[in-house]
Structure 1
Amino acid sequence: MNDANTIHIWLNELERALAGLPEASRRDIVNEARAHLEDRVAAGLSARSALHGFGTVKDYARPFIEDFLLSRAITSNHSLHMIKALVTHSARSIVAFLGLTFAATFGGLTLINLLWLIDKIGSPDKVGYFTDSGANNYIGHLPASALGATEQLGPWWYVLTIAGIILSLFLARLCLRLSGFAIVRARSQSA
């Protein structure tokens, strides 16, 4: 296989690896890589030697894909885009890992509050904040062994549970956004 074919095959693989990027960005990256490779070959390197400096197609494409995912997440303001961007960074960034961890924690709190709300709607006399004469407190679903316990919050349970859902969703999104901004800031400082 000659040098031109080797480079052509590598560039085709690069274009496939960049499939998630917009066409204009993908074309610019491939054209820039082609120009650098052609310059190296024109300087006397073999195609294999020129490609060796670029690494594997996957390694070369990774930063472009990560940058695209992160910039799309920041500009789109969609949580799923931010989660996907942080997942791609989490193996190499403690900030991304912590952001995902805290977002998952607050997401879990959202789920718990949502399940409590559904449970309270289904059986209002069995779910809430209860105390009994023995100074025992019960939060959530009242156990069958808690005889004579009285509900302390009444309808406020609904208000507090809905507020918990809203607050934990807000905090989950905030963790995602702050992590994304921190990664962007760190990248711009290192560049």
Structure 2
Amino acid sequence: MSNEGTYHHGDLRRAVLTAALDVIAADGPDALSLRGLARRAGVSHAAPAHHFKDRTGLLTAVAAEGYALFAEALTAAPDLQERGVAYVRFAVTHPAHFQVMFRPELHRADDPALLAAKARATEALRAGVDGLPDAPRGTDARLTGIAAWSLAHGFATLLLSGNLSDALTDRTPESAFRSLTGLILTPRDEGTGDRD
């Protein structure tokens, strides 16, 4: 089979990224190799290197694309709770991106596209925290953001690793996460015991 015919299918960069996402979703990022992707895409072994330079460059592109999609998903949500739901939904619908995004040892930390996409995602989460009703005096907004991130990320990670399948039974991940955050975000009268 001639490699020349395979270049007519469209965007080779996109084809390699898509093949990489398939491999990562099935076997994890450690299973990824440029030669394997070239075989999978039906192109010469040098073709992926032309677009990504090396494996780290490819994983950096996956992470940058993931953060860009992630920022869009978070920004579209109206409040912090729904941004958490969007976080979980993103992990479920983009598991390969999710696996790579939060493993900084896999990508180039100084990549401009990655830095810009991460900044947009971080700003979307911060905007959700900023939209919370006034917190008690002295509450650190940064710690509130870390708490929200930890809850959403922990839930998404447990979900993707199969550790919540028994607990969720017939609930969707989004519904379960809303209930979970409702337990934490619902104001309670403490101290007096009065619950009218």
TM-score w.r.t. the length of structure 1 is 0.30
| Structure with the larger strand share | 1
